[in-house]
Structure 1
Amino acid sequence: MTNQATIDQVNPQSHPGKDVYAVIGHPIAHSKSPIIHAYFAKQTNQSIHYGRIFSELNAFKETVEQFFARGGKGLNITVPFKLEAYELAQKKTETAKLAQAANVLWYKDGELWCDNTDGAGLTRDLQRLLKHQGASLNHAKVLILGAGGAAQGVIEPLMLEKVGQITIANRTFAKAQQLVEQFKQSATSAQVLLEAIEIQDLAQSDRDSSDAFDLIINATASGLGDASPISKELLKAISNSKTLAYDMVYGKETRFMQDARELGLKASDGLGMLVEQAALAFETWRNFKGADSTLDIDGAIAAVRATY
């Protein structure tokens, strides 16, 4: 780790004339964020430098404070520091408060602010993909596979987009039901049908083509290996030709995505989510107002894919 810590450090004082940003994590060498922000900077003619910072697990606060003390302008936060980033910030956006975690830090009027752009990054990516199909999240029937942290972070943002139904399917019913209980009040306010089910019970549901899900999100870690949380046969039974299959893992064609494509479904990995949440951070840092339509999201995605 010593070598990585030596390589992945950013000293703002080493880049005179440029505003300096970075992503901080442990590990961090794999991060594609520098490619994304470099693309946005070139597109918008912004004079910035964006790098990676490796932090020891017990040195996050010190590393962040040192970066800003040396003139750094903003940080993206990745695992495992999102909770610490939230606690460290003196000012928190409503979105960060809702998530109780932060992936963006910056100073404003002498105070450290934090935000969480993960949820909005996901919904913006989903809206972009669905728009290509002539669809939207409005009133959509959504199935979330898994009930862990990734699934938890998806639920509230989807409800804010006024989906019609969210079904959480997990191997263990109790864990899925726990999320339903957690978000029950928000679901009632948003008039969203929120329900839990065991994954195996999806196959037992009496479904026809009109009862298919519009969006199926794989929020499990199965894509990191060579597995899918559901069989190809089950995927076929709960989808139709307009269903979007979305895997939150990015950087590879997962088994879940392969099965979807073989069934003729539109499938996508989570790279667009990464790019969209980066765009939101970029807009905040560079004080872009209503700039979501000006950043070239497709171009940034293509730039990252070219590195695989």
Structure 2
Amino acid sequence: MSLYAVFGHPIDHSLSPRIHEAFGALTGRLVHYERREAHPGGLAQALAAFAAEGGRGANITVPVKGEAFTLAARVTARAARARAVNTLSWDNGAWVGDNTDGIGLVRDLTVNHGWSLPDRRVLLIGAGGAAQGIVGPLLDAGIAILAISNRTPARAQGLVWACADARVRLAAAGGAAGSRYDLVINATAAGLSGGLPAPLDAVFEDAIVYDLMYGPKARAFLSHARAHGAREVADGLGMLVEQAAESFLLWHGVRPPTPSVLERLRTEVDAR
């Protein structure tokens, strides 16, 4: 039986094994999927051991998505665009890297939530690996403007330059006070410590606000946004499920249905 796993640190909280095993049951495939610890600098050794044990597919999460990009023997166009890998597939004795984060986000926004993306003004908070994985698919979805705000302006500027798209720009200092956005996306890790990104109160008014994190880690940011006028808010649980479905498709040749899996996890996560 082929072996699959998610690598990262910390990893004991990951829902990925449950998601992929549920997908296997829905599609009639036997899936053995594990959590595996991978600290920065240790992914190569972890993947080598995994492949030797029969590993044929891996999801990569924080903080080693960039490391996975450098380790892959080759990468898909969307991984190259993101310069980050969240999905590895074993092919002819080597790892092939892909990135399903962005397509998972767009599917959650448009299919699960029914939000329209064409011609929307989007503010992206954060410029790290999570942000890198979603900018391309957001642009492909037809948004009008993508403004990027980051605690370190130089990193935000680097992502703007990497996009090489006239629609992408730096957000004004302080979160673009006075600017109006249709969609605000938090791609920072502030929720891991229960904190908030830099003050951005002015941008939430009448906007849809989305946090790539989910459950308790997203609540502070989303509650803050709602208190400052957000029209709708959502966390990233749907993105997690949808990007997993894209990985499952790469490994097994079939895209599993996601609604029942998302509904089950939503009930559990909201009860925490």
Shared topology, TM-score over 0.5?
yes
Structure-2 separation of matches of 1:228 and 1:109: 43
- The answer to whether residue 37 in structure 2 is matched with residue 54 in structure 1 is yes
TM alignment of 1:1-308, pairs within 5 A: 18-55=1-38, 57-131=40-114, 135-170=115-150, 173-183=153-163, 185=164, 187-188=165-166, 193-200=167-174, 202-203=176-177, 205=178, 212-224=180-192, 225-227=194-196, 229-230=198-199, 232=201, 234-236=202-204, 239-240=205-206, 243-252=207-216, 253-262=218-227, 263=229, 265-288=231-254, 291=255, 294-296=256-258, 298-305=259-266, 306=268, 308=272
Structure 2 unaligned spans of 5+: none
Distance in structure 2 (CA, Å) of the matches to 1:78 and 1:60: 11
Secondary structure, aligned partner of 1:254: helix
RMSD: 2.5
Partners of 1:86 and 1:92 within 8 A in 2: yes
Secondary structure of the structure 1 residue equivalent to 2:171: strand
d(CA) in 2 for partners of 1:269 and 1:105?
A: 25
Distance 1:147 1:102, change over 3 A: closer
Quote the sequence identity (%). Answer: 39
1:201 and 1:274 map into 2 onto residues whose CA distance is 26
Scaled by the length of structure 2, the TM-score of the pair is 0.85
Per-residue deviation at 1:245? 0.6
Larger Rg: 1
- 1:175 shift after superposition: 4.6
Q: Measured at CA, do residues 167 and 100 of structure 1 come closer, stay the same or move farther in structure 2, by a change above 3 Å?
A: closer
For residue 88 of structure 2, give the secondary structure of its aligned residue in structure 1: strand
CA distance in 2, matches of 1:256, 1:282: 30
Once the two structures are TM-superposed, the CA of residue 56 in structure 1 deviates from its matched residue by 5.3
Q: Any stretches of 5+ residues in structure 1 without a counterpart? A: 1-17
Contact 2:82–2:134 (Cα < 8 Å) also in 1: no
CA contact (8 A) 2:39 2:64 kept: no
Residues matched between the structures, number: 266
